[in-house]
Homo-oligomer: A and B are copies of this chain.
Amino acid sequence: MIDPSAALLVVGNEVLSAKVRDENGPWAARRLRELGVRLLAIHVVADEALDIGAAVNAERRRASWVFTSGGVGPTHDDITVSAVAAALGRPLVRLAPLEMAIREIHRRHHGGAEPPEVALRMADVPEGTRLLGDPTFPTLAVENVVMLPGPPRFFRYQFEQVAPFLTGPPFRLATVFLAVGEERFAAVLAAMAKAHPGVEVGSYPQFDEVTDHRVRVTVESRDAGAVRAALRALLAELPREWVIRVEENLG
């Protein structure tokens, strides 16, 4: 079965130093899940070319898509694009259509004035970069790396421009809400997970919120039949009074 995947790289000194809370990671996790794309990892790294390059190179070999967030502006700390170029072994080249888009945006916001040279440096991208989606504010992609801006409004806009290329078979999920602690059913759960290798089984105890249950067990797969079979096997082994309710989203 097709299993498209992604990794997200948040380039963010400001996140690591707690000046800003990252919003793009949680948003991308939700959207990718909706699109049927498996998110393999989120890396928040410093504005350092070696850190960015190491993460890009580790992830682009195993993920269908690698997204970067941030570091694409005109200032000295905007190094994502050049770091991706270095990681891919591609020279930076000025892309004429991108320079035109930058000039056009600048003129529109500055009474027709031309942008300074430093703004045009945003048109210097890895050789082979494709411009996707909205031509007036294009999304940058090179090989399987998509370089998105950090501000959430722009991150989301440019992500949605490439979202049509990113769909996979939907994930199917069943959730069992239990009244007892994990240690009571851990052995049963382990046996079920072993007997049903085609599903992913998670167990999430609740300690922080006031809820009607103590543990939430999730059973998930792209294959709804596999979820149903695993869920049936699990419920057969659990005393009925432990099960508060079952929620299913099996399509």
Interfacial residues, chain A to chain B (CB-CB below 8 A): 13-22, 25-26, 29-30, 32-33, 38-47, 51, 54, 58, 73-78, 106, 115-116, 118-119, 151-154, 171, 182-184, 186-187, 189-190, 193-194, 200-208, 218, 220
Contact = CB atoms under 8 A, between A and B. Distances in A.
A18 B26 contact: yes
A195 to B, nearest CB: 12
Given A153-B207, A182-B74, A187 B29 contact: no
B74 A186 contact: yes
Contacts of A46: 40-41
Given A42-B16, A116-B184, A76 B201 contact: yes
Top 8 nearest A-B pairs (CB, nearest first) are A76-B190, A119-B183, A42-B44, A75-B203, A18-B30, A18-B29, A151-B207, A118-B186
A171 B13 CA distance: 14
Contacts of A30: 18
Contact of A186 (B14, B76, B186, B189): B76
27 contacts: A14-B204, A16-B38, A16-B42, A17-B171, A18-B30, A18-B33, A21-B26, A22-B25, A40-B46, A41-B43, A41-B44, A41-B46, A41-B51, A42-B44, A73-B182, A73-B205, A75-B190, A76-B201, A77-B193, A77-B202, A78-B203, A106-B183, A119-B183, A151-B205, A151-B207, A152-B208, A153-B207
A203 B16 contact: no
Contacts of A44: 25, 41-43
A18 B39 CA distance: 9
A194 to B, nearest CB: 8
A208 B157 CA distance: 12
| Residue with the greatest number of chain B CB neighbours at <10 A, chosen from A15, A54, A77, A208 | A77
Contacts of A204: 14, 19-20
A151 B154 CA distance: 32
A183 B115 contact: yes
Contact of A29 (B16, B25, B29): B16
